Amino acid sequence: MTDYSVHEPLDGSAAIATVSSRVGTAGCFVTVGSDKPCILSSAHVLAAIPSDKTVFQPPGADGSRAVAKLWDFYGPDPARKDNVLDAAIAVLCDTKYDPRIGALAPPRGFNPNVVANQRVWIHGAGSGRRRSGRIQVVGEPKTVIYDDGSSAGFQGLVRCECYSQAGDSGAAVLDAAGYVVGVHLCGTEDYSWFCRISMVLARWPKIQLITSN
């Protein structure tokens, strides 16, 4: 069940959404060419309608408040079958934050290298706790069908044993050493998929992970 509680300070496991998006997960905190702290999450969470820029936590619940504003996103093109990324960045408002993910330690850095049989984990708003699974396929093509009925074709996704539930979109995917390897994209009862952090680094070369504050 999705955790709709107020996370004060905001952390990476918090439930977030815009007025026009489904609930997702804050993910992790970054900077991009400045000292302004930002959220790195999914485009279909932060930019479902790009003009709807305000991000709320918790979404649609008592105590909801604006925590960030959409800055940039790289959303999939429905006309293409070779999308590689569904990610967005939102600049925090005057919001207290903690780089930890739930009660767990902050991520240690980015790791663009993933291999089959590697164990990864998330702590998403939907799951409400740490959940893990092993990587099964690196570089899998997949057509993703979103909650609004739209779809997009992807290449290069990482398929894992199921580690996710609804509401986990945008969660940071970490390896056993605590390094971010991806951004959670979608899942079924059997599998979970994420976009590789290497695609995020290619899109925003100046991105830096916040590991303390």
Residues 34 and 44: their CA atoms lie apart, in Å, by 25
The domains found in the chain, sorted by start residue, are 15-102+203-209 (2.40.10), 109-198 (2.40.10.10)
Predicted local distance difference test score (pLDDT) of residue 204: 98
**141 to 89, 146, 156, 195: CA distances (angstroms):** 24, 16, 6, 11
Per the DSSP assignment, residues forming a β-bridge with 51 are none
More confident residue, 140 or 102: 140
Cα dihedral 71, 57, 87, 200 in deg (nearest 10): 80
- In sequence order, what are the residues at sequence separation of 6 or more whose Cβ sits closer than 8 angstroms to the Cβ of residue 141? 81, 153, 154, 155, 156, 157
pLDDT(121) > 90: yes
pLDDT(118) > 80: yes
Tokens of 91: 């600049």
Cα dihedral 115, 100, 189, 160 in deg (nearest 10): 0
Average pLDDT over residues 99-128: 95
Tokens of 146: 């979103």
Average pLDDT over residues 174-190: 98
**32 to 66, 156, 201: CA distances (angstroms):** 21, 24, 10
pTM: 0.96
Q: What is the pLDDT of residues 57-91, one digit of tens each?
A: 999 867 799 999 999 999 899 889 999 999 999 99
Cα dihedral 172, 178, 180, 181 in deg (nearest 10): -110
Tokens of 188: 């079924």
Q: What is the pLDDT of residues 23-61, one digit of tens each?
A: 999 999 999 999 999 999 999 999 988 888 999 999 986
Predicted local distance difference test score (pLDDT) of residue 61: 66
More confident residue, 104 or 54: 54
Give the rounded percent of residues in the chain with a pLDDT score beyond 70: 100
What element of type H or E holds 198? helix 197-203
pLDDT(4) > 90: no
pLDDT(190) > 80: yes
Average pLDDT over residues 168-189: 98
Residues 12 and 32: their CA atoms lie apart, in Å, by 17
What element of type H or E holds 43? helix 43-46
